[in-house]
Structure 1
């Protein structure tokens, strides 16, 4: 009997601790797929485009959508019960909504076609928020993105599981307790 792999997302605004928590889960031996936006941003920088999302949001978002769909399919090939993924397909639409960008119907169609089993939401946490070379948003922009992420996922019918603002280990424990 083929067991369906559970795909659990970690979502939230920039700088809320998703990637750090995902890296911790990975260090414990859990199967984790990292955020791919940084890879796309760094690849564009190598081609001379400092911030592809700011220069051409739709081109960036199409590359991101393709990468996230590939992650979704790759997760089906993993020999594990659960795969943890840093950001999902609907994040692409949420960011485009945040920036008031029109986008092709394929984005909305992908949101409905590729369904995740659980969505762990990391709320904004000002005390840990920092900007870096790939994260261009300030705190106010991050809060606005957070709003669009919550709205996009809840509009799609997802029940967001709010991850408490505690240590990385406690956040990982919380997620693991809710994986069934």
Structure 2
């Protein structure tokens, strides 16, 4: 089966997880964001913010998990799989902090190709921080720019999802995909 891989990306606090949860509620196959799992595991080990203390290790763990998710899509019977972020997000965040990364990060972005990428803009009205989200809204705006640049660099034409209710945002995505 030729599974379509659809990424929903955006900076922190843009509503991605809520949108993924809405798609799950509607019966679509979705692979959820893994960064919170990595953060919580590190916190169990006594590392408060792994991304801040060791961004390369954090990014390696994310890349590994996202590559596994990409391959996992082949095991699902659904012909369309939604991803809460893609491998390209790892590079965007590393560029955001101005850190370097090994070539296999670039190789992953070149070799793991998604069919469609939707991006959610930072939306101050819904933005909140929590235990795993340390970025300010101003940083979320900068991350958004890095996401745009990174995905564009790999020849993706990102589809902006307008501000609206979660239900209407899900409808917008499904209409764009003709589902």
Task: Provide TM-score, normalisation by structure 1.
Answer: 0.98
2:139 is matched with 141
Distance in 2 between residues matched to 1:146 and 1:121, nearest whole Å: 9
1:19 is matched with 17
Deviation at 1:36?
0.2
How many equivalent residue pairs? 178
Deviation at 1:161?
0.7
SS at match of 2:6: strand
Name segments (4+ residues, structure 1) moved above 4 Å: none
Distance in 2 between residues matched to 1:128 and 1:142, nearest whole Å: 12
Distance in 1 between residues matched to 2:142 and 2:123, nearest whole Å: 13
Q: Equivalent residues in 2 for 1:20-99 (5 A)?
A: 20-99=18-97
RMSD across aligned positions (CA): 0.6
Unaligned runs of 5+ in 1: none
Task: Provide TM-score, normalisation by structure 2.
Answer: 0.98
Aligned pair 1:116/2:114, yes or no? Answer: yes
